[in-house]
Amino acid sequence: MVLADPANVWCMAQDAIEPALIYAGAIEHVVGRDAVARSTDGGRSWADITPPLAREEEIWAIAASPAVKDQVFIGTSHARLMRSDDAGRSFHECDGFLKISGRDKWTFPPPPHIPHVRSIAFDPIRPQSIYAGVEEGGIFRSRDGGKSFEPLNSGLYRDVHTVATDRREATHLYATTGRGFYRSGDGGKSWRQVADGIDRPYTVPMIANAAEGETIFIAAAAGPPPMWSVGPVGADAAIYRSVDRGGSFEQIAVEQGLGRGMVMRMRPDPERSGFFAVSNSGAVLRLSEDGAHAVPIAEKLPPAYDLAIIP
């Protein structure tokens, strides 16, 4: 386990070919210090690669292309999307994202109501197609590597936290939102909320196809983040599993409780068929393939929002 710089890391991404190449982004940083950093040695050292365009921005999402060498996207506050084709040495604005009709109505509940790109996902079959989830604005797809975008919001609650693609069925898309889990079976043309088996509304992280078959895991809290620190049971979080591509869910009873914390990110376990989960209470858990068995591998860390697994 390594610490990233900037210290207040919100999001991370690893290169698909070189796992020691890691990117990290911060949503709370001192102006003039790193907002985006890169490590080429598995997190032992870091270099500031914050583009001038993002010096005043918070970095809410980072995604490295699984198919295009050295391509990485960052999503920022003010709902901006930037792309690098040289492993973060330079970035350019995805101007098409700034031209989306209706973006002036995007918002965010807490003042000053600034929306942000919260999630970036790649099409598993067409690497030039990407999906950007905006909190709060919805989901938008680009078929040309970020040059132009189309909305995919019919039936979707637009407070989007995570958007994911199905690696086996390209027409299946999934989204976690502030009002539950949503599923599309037609490539995002329409969405349906799935409530079967989910008894907490505020869904955040998701991992699709974590195990063999059609398994999806999500984590949900009883309410939005302002309640996590003041409620009698904190976030009152739970992890849910679907074995039918998001058609229904069941809560899994992990042996290691989540305490007052909320699971903020899930990442596949490269050595086993399970996955890792990190919590804002400073815990890192390693979960089995079915999610029912959890082993704490770190506790009492500072609040953790993402992780990278170094082979």
Q: Is the peptide bond before 6 cis (omega within 30 degrees of 0)?
A: yes
Residue from 113, 103, 225 nearest 153 by CA: 103
Residue from 38, 31, 72 nearest 54 by CA: 31
Query: What confidence tens digit (pLDDT) does each residue in 129-146 have?
Result: 999 999 999 999 999 999
Query: What confidence tens digit (pLDDT) does each residue in 254-306 have?
Result: 756 677 899 999 999 888 888 999 999 989 999 988 888 888 888 888 888 99
pLDDT of residue 272: 80
pTM higher than the cut 0.85 = yes
Residue with tokens 């295009």: 68
Query: What confidence tens digit (pLDDT) does each residue in 229-257 have?
Result: 887 889 999 999 999 999 999 999 775 66
Distance CA 163, CA 154 (A): 15
pLDDT of residue 1: 41
Distance CA 230, CA 159 (A): 22
- What is residue 221's three-state secondary structure? strand
Residue with tokens 């029912």: 292
The full set of domains in the chain, from first to last, is 1-186 (2.130.10.10), 195-311 (no CATH)
Over residues 5-32, the mean pLDDT reads 82
Average pLDDT over the chain, rounded to an integer = 90
Say yes or no to pLDDT of 215 above 60.
Answer: yes
| Residue 102, CA distances (Å) to 95, 97, 137, 141, 158 in order | 15, 11, 9, 15, 13
Residues 6+ apart with CB under 8 A from 230: none
